[in-house]
Structure 1
Amino acid sequence: MKRRASRAGTDPVAGLLRGILPMLFLTLLVVALAIPAGLAIAPAFHRPDSSAAAADTPAPWQQVPTRLSPPGGTGAGAVQPLSSSAPVPGPGALAAQLNDALKTDGAGAFTGVVQDAATGALLFDRAGDETRVPASNMKLLTAVSALRVLGPDRRFSTKVVAGSAPGSVVLTGGGDVLLGAGESAPDAVLGHAGLATLAKATVQALRHDGAAGTVSVQLDDSLFTGPSLNPAWSPDDVAAGETAPLFPLALNSARFDPASTTGPRPQDAAMGAAEAFSAQLATAAAAAGLTVAPGVERVPAPVPSGNARILAEVQSATVGQQVDLLLRTSDNFLAEVMGRMSALASGRPGSNDGAIATVLQQLGELGIPTETLHAADVSGLALANQVSARQLTEVVRAITSGPDPRLRAALAGFPVAALTGTLGDRYTDASTARGAGLVRAKTGTLNTVIALSGYVVDADGRLLVFSFIGNGLTPGAANKPALDRAASLLAGCGCR
């Protein structure tokens, strides 16, 4: 039976929220303005000093604003930092509500953990140290590793270098799998670097060198090593387009169409990108009196970096922007590439094993125990992954409140309930609407697995981190609402 990893489309919002959508987006804008304030006082989030609201009445900071305040404003309605003196939910009251919500529809069971982000205090624990299949929640580990090893401002270069044969150029992959076929789009993440821009710059360099006649195109995609497909992945998932063979360059995160995030993917994304570059090069070369030989061949061995004369290059969006995209859309291919690029930056081979070792090392350096954690990949598509809810909440806590400020770059990538990413079509009924626009969490979905890990400010103004994982579930059963109800309970909690 086919297993499906979580994906996002165009972020639809169901009918129940359509009437309040503009005001919800206004709320999000206020929250976005609040993030810099929260970062400035890391390692903890805090809330405005005000009295706690009743659980059935949204607190002032959760209500839809009547107007926007400019950044740095101090008047009424201005965004203010949260206070660390906000009440912490009582574990007993919280457990009573969550245990009632976390009931499976059919077979299987849920584990879960809720922690206070500022102190790490354990507020809810249902078999939280038991390792489970985490599905795409595995991407949280990969995101943290990438931000620590690569840094949020790092960019990947796709280069064209002079080949060893006269008149040859070599397209060299450097880890950017979000290439666009057209001109570079500076304000975009997908398509930030464009092959048409790279081709024009290459022709300019060739003309400067006095090139004449025919130009041949070669491909160097040797940056990654080891199998391009993980043996732990189901062939059915690969055929369905949940992922694809991994290469250090690709168009549209190995998608035929940048507007489509479903369906089969190209099985040789690097060659597809090289052929698109060759076509763009032919167009640009014609205006310069040059011709481009048909076809692209892989170079038998990469040009030594010290001897490669760079003719042109384009750079990707930042790692921080790519992490945002991979979390929001739950892109397995992009996550695996980010894992391999992190491995290379840490001095390991750009392979699956190198990516896993790098992730585990980074978690260990953050003080997150990994003795019981088993990783078979870094995207969460493999059923052999084993991670506990406690380990996941510690990762989320490191992002929201930990001592490493580089991890804050992952905050915006968490999908927002009922609004963005893989949560865009959830939290739309009466039992979960309390969390709409407030819960931010990474989803995970396989046939018998669902997971939800993220953060929320409760009605008393306390930042909570949480992870709920269901394993052994009945395929197709209605289990996502249980996790959404649990997270919505946290958003409305005045649990004292």
Structure 2
Amino acid sequence: MAEPVKRPTDGPLNRWGKWKVPKYLKRGSGRDDLRLVAGSAVLGLVVAAGAVLAAGPWDSGQRKAERVRAAVLQRAGGAHHEGTAPDGPAPAPSAPAVLSAPGATAGLTAPAGASALETALGPLLDAPALGSVRTAVVVDASTGKQLYARGAATPMTPASTVKIATTAAALSALGPAHRIATTVTLSPDSRTLTLVGGGDPTLDKAALRALATDAAGSLRDGDAGPVRLTYDTSRYSGPALHPIGPNENIAPVSALMADEGRLDKSDRGPALRTDDPAGDAARVFAGLLDDAGVATRSGPSSGRSPAGARTVATHLSEPLSALVERALTNSDNDIAEALARQTALKAGEPASFAGSRRAVTARLEALGLPLAGARLADGSGLDRADKVTAGLLAELLALAAGPDHPELRPVLTGLPVAGFTGTLGDRYTATSPATGLIRAKTGTLTGVNSLAGTAVDAQGRLLTFAFLASGSTSPAEAEASLDALATALAEGTR
């Protein structure tokens, strides 16, 4: 056990005017967790390296979809763009020698001041590739102090970086251990089985097979004959289609779907999607029931679970922490929309786009975040009506890194790692000084580019940042400019 540390009587204040106790000063406060946040990008990536070949940005597929939609609507389209275990890998034994815990200063040079950041970031923010409007905020995660700001309170279209807000709201509302249930119910007369969707978009054939096997066992116990099969999607309400319309990056939003409605065997990236995810899942389930020895009278039909029905089978999703990490690493739109609806259900709101917007906004407000000008129109960032500020994203990431809200930690561990995983897998070279030191969520729409995440600077500090730009004309050049900004943070003042 760590020796007690005498706390100073003064020091940096957090946003609520209280002295902010750095996590590394607290006995038993999880020092290794913050080292993981700051250091796993460098030290635990052998585990992640194998995933790099399969992971990568989704932007090209989304842009294709946008061009198709633009041709129809004569305007710019919407956005685009495997989670790890909830606790994550332990830091490597060499971690203390490579990176200090955020806030530690022994043997390090004095932190760069705002003027140094202005010198480093100002010219990069002025790059023409970033278009006509660009905003930026940098925060010291160990103190909550804002180190740099340009247009911090200016609402901007965030694209997929809005997933940071969506996932944080879900974790705050439900907790990282929450699991989404898919169930099968049997009517009182044992004549109707109902597959009840709970909103898990990662439901797959193996899970459906397990549900069918358990349901069949219950029917055999009751010596039932052929049954009628229905499927219940009533947990969700409102339009199923995202405002961007049919799109290869998102299926119709349904409380019941298998494999995110994908029509191939992929688990990430763009793919052709079914226009009837619930019906398709129910038909697969019907075939699996037949394999398990249960005959159905006809094909499955939509309908609510009958009154008085009892649950005969249940499947639980992966913990919410794993779903959050997968949503952020792969920029998974289907999971993001599902998490927004789970937040709505917890708040007693309708599980719709409108209900999710109200619930996510209320949850972020309860966390004390700056929401002036914010509009969370959807959970995924596909909708151009989304508006957030760089200040909101940077402060939210700092909150996730601090000691007061450990339930938000998966927001950080799910961020793609520069040069290694997810949508940052091919945006940093092996020789880049920022490779492994940047973890960030990407965002891309036509004319919109964003990057928000964390960086470990030359002094060993964990910084959170948000860079939002609009009016760009070359996505590749805009992304390179954003990456240069993050690299400047990692390089610091050496």
TM-score normalised by L of structure 1: 0.78
What is the Cα deviation at residue 70 of structure 1? Answer: 8.4
Partner Cα separation in structure 1 for residue 366 and residue 166 of structure 2: 14
Q: 1:132 to 1:75 in 2, by over 3 A?
A: closer
Determine the structure 2 residue equivalent to 1:322: 323
The gaps in structure 1 that reach 5 residues or longer are: 1-34, 49-58, 183-193
Work out whether 1:197 is the aligned partner of 2:213.
no
Deviations 1:253-306 (A, max 9, x none): 222234253132111211111111111111111xxxx4233311011x4434xx
Determine the structure 2 residue equivalent to 1:449: 448
Determine the structure 2 residue equivalent to 1:92: 115
Partner Cα separation in structure 1 for residue 411 and residue 227 of structure 2: 43
Determine the structure 2 residue equivalent to 1:191: none
Partner Cα separation in structure 1 for residue 405 and residue 214 of structure 2: 39
Partner Cα separation in structure 1 for residue 195 and residue 117 of structure 2: 56
CA contact (8 A) 2:188 2:309 kept: no
Determine the structure 1 residue equivalent to 2:421: 420
Structural mapping, 1:391-470, within 5 Å: 391-401=392-402, 403-428=404-429, 433-470=432-469
Q: 1:180 to 1:475 in 2, by over 3 A?
A: same
Q: 1:84 to 1:211 in 2, by over 3 A?
A: same
Q: SS at 2:227's partner residue?
A: strand
Partner Cα separation in structure 2 for residue 132 and residue 360 of structure 1: 16
What is the Cα deviation at residue 429 of structure 1? Answer: 7.4
More displaced stretch, 367-376 vs 37-46: 37-46
More displaced stretch, 260-269 vs 220-229: 260-269
Determine the structure 1 residue equivalent to 2:235: 223
CA contact (8 A) 1:45 1:463 kept: no
What is the Cα deviation at residue 75 of structure 1? Answer: 11
CA contact (8 A) 2:101 2:460 kept: no
TM-score normalised by L of structure 2: 0.79
Q: 1:76 to 1:157 in 2, by over 3 A?
A: closer
Equivalent in 257, 262, 266 of residue 264 of structure 2:
257
Structural mapping, 1:331-346, within 5 Å: 331-346=332-347
Q: SS at 2:129's partner residue?
A: coil
CA contact (8 A) 1:45 1:82 kept: no
What is the Cα deviation at residue 447 of structure 1? Answer: 1.0
Determine the structure 2 residue equivalent to 1:207: 220
Q: 1:205 to 1:387 in 2, by over 3 A?
A: same
Q: Match for 1:234: what amino acid? A: I
How many positions carry a matched residue from both structures?
A: 424
Q: Match for 1:255: what amino acid? A: R
The gaps in structure 2 that reach 5 residues or longer are: 1-22, 48-88
Partner Cα separation in structure 2 for residue 311 and residue 460 of structure 1: 57
More displaced stretch, 105-114 vs 355-364: 105-114
Q: Match for 1:248: what amino acid? A: A
What is the Cα deviation at residue 60 of structure 1? Answer: 11
What is the Cα deviation at residue 80 of structure 1? Answer: 6.3
Work out whether 1:485 is the aligned partner of 2:475.
no
Determine the structure 2 residue equivalent to 1:374: 375
Deviations 1:229-261 (A, max 9, x none): 24xx223xx2x3122221112111222234253
CA contact (8 A) 2:124 2:485 kept: yes
Deviations 1:344-371 (A, max 9, x none): 1122111111111111111111111213
Q: Match for 2:112: what amino acid? A: P
Q: Match for 2:376: what amino acid? A: A
Q: 1:151 to 1:206 in 2, by over 3 A?
A: same
Determine the structure 1 residue equivalent to 2:306: 303
Deviations 1:421-466 (A, max 9, x none): 1101111276xx1111110001111111111000111111111000
CA contact (8 A) 1:400 1:408 kept: yes
Q: SS at 1:340's partner residue?
A: helix
What is the Cα deviation at residue 40 of structure 1? Answer: 5.4
Partner Cα separation in structure 1 for residue 328 and residue 150 of structure 2: 26
Determine the structure 2 residue equivalent to 1:55: none
Q: 1:477 to 1:155 in 2, by over 3 A?
A: closer
More displaced stretch, 166-175 vs 72-81: 72-81
CA contact (8 A) 1:339 1:378 kept: yes
What is the Cα deviation at residue 105 of structure 1? Answer: 2.0
What is the Cα deviation at residue 477 of structure 1? Answer: 5.2
Determine the structure 2 residue equivalent to 1:188: none
Work out whether 1:135 is the aligned partner of 2:153.
no
Q: SS at 1:479's partner residue?
A: helix
What is the Cα deviation at residue 108 of structure 1? Answer: 2.5
Determine the structure 1 residue equivalent to 2:366: 365
Partner Cα separation in structure 1 for residue 429 and residue 361 of structure 2: 37
Work out whether 1:234 is the aligned partner of 2:238.
no
